[in-house]
Amino acid sequence: MKHFGTVESFDETKGRGLIKPEQGDKAISFERSAFSWESKSPPPVGKRLSYDLRETEGEARAVNLQNA
Protein backbone atom coordinates (compact mmCIF):
# COMPACT_ATOMS: atom_id res chain seq x y z
CA MET A 1 0.00 0.00 0.00
CA LYS A 2 1.36 3.41 -0.99
CA HIS A 3 1.49 6.16 1.59
CA PHE A 4 1.89 9.90 1.00
CA GLY A 5 3.59 12.63 2.97
CA THR A 6 5.81 15.70 2.77
CA VAL A 7 9.50 16.01 3.51
CA GLU A 8 9.98 17.58 6.92
CA SER A 9 13.79 17.62 6.98
CA PHE A 10 16.90 16.06 5.45
CA ASP A 11 20.44 16.03 6.85
CA GLU A 12 22.93 15.91 3.95
CA THR A 13 25.81 14.88 6.23
CA LYS A 14 24.00 11.88 7.74
CA GLY A 15 22.00 11.04 4.60
CA ARG A 16 18.77 10.77 6.62
CA GLY A 17 15.55 12.68 6.86
CA LEU A 18 11.98 12.75 8.11
CA ILE A 19 8.72 12.62 6.21
CA LYS A 20 5.42 13.85 7.70
CA PRO A 21 2.66 11.41 6.72
CA GLU A 22 -0.64 12.77 5.43
CA GLN A 23 -2.40 10.36 7.77
CA GLY A 24 -0.96 10.10 11.25
CA ASP A 25 1.08 12.50 13.29
CA LYS A 26 4.42 10.79 13.88
CA ALA A 27 7.19 11.65 11.42
CA ILE A 28 8.79 8.67 9.67
CA SER A 29 12.50 8.44 8.99
CA PHE A 30 14.07 7.65 5.62
CA GLU A 31 17.58 7.29 4.22
CA ARG A 32 19.15 8.46 0.98
CA SER A 33 19.18 4.82 -0.21
CA ALA A 34 15.34 4.89 -0.20
CA PHE A 35 15.19 7.36 -3.13
CA SER A 36 13.78 5.84 -6.34
CA TRP A 37 15.36 8.44 -8.61
CA GLU A 38 18.83 8.14 -10.11
CA SER A 39 20.49 11.37 -8.99
CA LYS A 40 20.11 10.57 -5.27
CA SER A 41 19.78 14.32 -4.66
CA PRO A 42 17.53 14.92 -1.66
CA PRO A 43 14.00 16.21 -2.11
CA PRO A 44 13.38 19.74 -0.82
CA VAL A 45 11.52 20.34 2.45
CA GLY A 46 7.78 20.44 1.72
CA LYS A 47 8.02 18.11 -1.31
CA ARG A 48 5.13 15.60 -1.48
CA LEU A 49 6.29 12.01 -1.93
CA SER A 50 4.79 8.56 -2.05
CA TYR A 51 6.46 5.76 -0.11
CA ASP A 52 6.12 2.25 1.28
CA LEU A 53 6.59 1.38 4.93
CA ARG A 54 9.05 -1.18 6.22
CA GLU A 55 9.64 -2.01 9.84
CA THR A 56 13.31 -2.13 10.83
CA GLU A 57 14.48 -2.71 14.39
CA GLY A 58 10.94 -2.13 15.66
CA GLU A 59 10.62 1.25 13.92
CA ALA A 60 8.66 2.14 10.77
CA ARG A 61 10.81 3.56 7.96
CA ALA A 62 9.85 5.04 4.59
CA VAL A 63 11.29 3.16 1.61
CA ASN A 64 10.83 3.34 -2.16
CA LEU A 65 10.38 7.14 -2.09
CA GLN A 66 8.90 8.53 -5.30
CA ASN A 67 7.66 11.90 -6.49
CA ALA A 68 3.91 12.06 -5.94
Hey, where are the domains in the chain? Answer: 3-67
Mapping DSSP onto H, E and C, the string for the chain reads: CCEEEEEEEEECCCCEEEEEECCCCCCEEEEHHHECCCCCCCCCCCCEEEEEEEEECCEEEEEEEEEC
Q: Assign 1 a pLDDT band (cuts: 50, 70, 90).
A: confident
Q: What pLDDT does 34 receive?
A: 86
pLDDT tens per residue, range 7-61: 999 998 998 999 999 998 899 999 988 887 777 788 899 999 999 999 988 889 9
Q: Assign 4 a pLDDT band (cuts: 50, 70, 90).
A: very high
Q: What pLDDT does 22 receive?
A: 95
Right CATH for 3-67 from 2.40.50.140, 3.30.365.10, 3.40.50.12500, 3.40.50.2300: 2.40.50.140
